[in-house]
Each structure stands twice: as C-alpha cells, then as structure tokens.
Structure 1
Amino acid sequence: MFKYAQIDLNTGFCVGVSYLSGEVKAAHMLPLTEGQDVQPGDIFMDGEWTRPASSSSVGKKRWWEKFRK
C-alpha cells in the first residue's frame, strides 16, 4: 500500500489522506511514510508539515484566513 496526502497546491492545505494500491505521480499527491501522522487540515509549507492550532480560541483569527486572497 502507498500512503499519500492530497493537497491544495495553492495553499498547501491537506484535503485528504489516502492508502492506494499503486504508486501515484501527481503534483498534488505527496507520498507519506507510515509513521507520518498527517491529517486533513494540516499544512505542507517549505517541505514540512504543520498542524494548525485549534480555531476555537475566542478573539483569534481562524487559521485558514491567512490563505484567503
């Protein structure tokens, strides 16, 4: 099995994680190791994954607002 993160190429936002039966060569599909705990909502930027802080904090901007144009 091959594990991939599907990302939005404009934002680096992970929109899904998939286990596939074959290898995929596509810019929006990033291969993951079994040990990588990437989840939808994580962000791939400058070669690294980050998990945004919870958006439930009152008075703080929601994490996705920085990606809006």
Structure 2
Amino acid sequence: MSAQPGFNEPWGNGLRPTKKQIDRWTDENSAKCLEYVKQHAERGNPAFVINCIDEFASTNHMMNIGQVVNYF
C-alpha cells in the first residue's frame, strides 16, 4: 500500500504558484477592486465604500476582513 500524496492547500496537488505570480494576481485584483469601488460606491460615504469592497471580495478571489468590519 502506498500513501496518498499530501494535499497542498489551497492549490491541491498541483504546482504551487510563485511569489511573482501571487504578487501579480494580488495587484490585478486590487486594481479591479478599486475600479469596482469607483464605479459603485457613493462618494463621501465610507460605509458604502466598505460594503462595495465586501461585495467585490465575495465574487472575486481576494482576502478581506468581511462584513464584521462594518461594526467597528
């Protein structure tokens, strides 16, 4: 019996992305998030801006604190 290969979260058993690839994805998502906020947020309303960021992060791969931030 052979042991199953380990699971390398979150990339599965495939190749792990390089730091350069991760940095590029992060930069691209940050720029997309900024554009989303510019198009959808209400100017001068910080709570609405945070909601737009949360909305963007819920449909795109992006690390975000989430809706709890609205309580602070």
- The reply to whether TM is greater than 0.5 is no
**TM-score bin, normalised by smaller chain:** under 0.3
Higher RCO, Cα 8 Å, sep 6+: 1
Structure that is richer in helix per residue: 2
Q: TM-score, normalised by structure 2?
A: 0.19
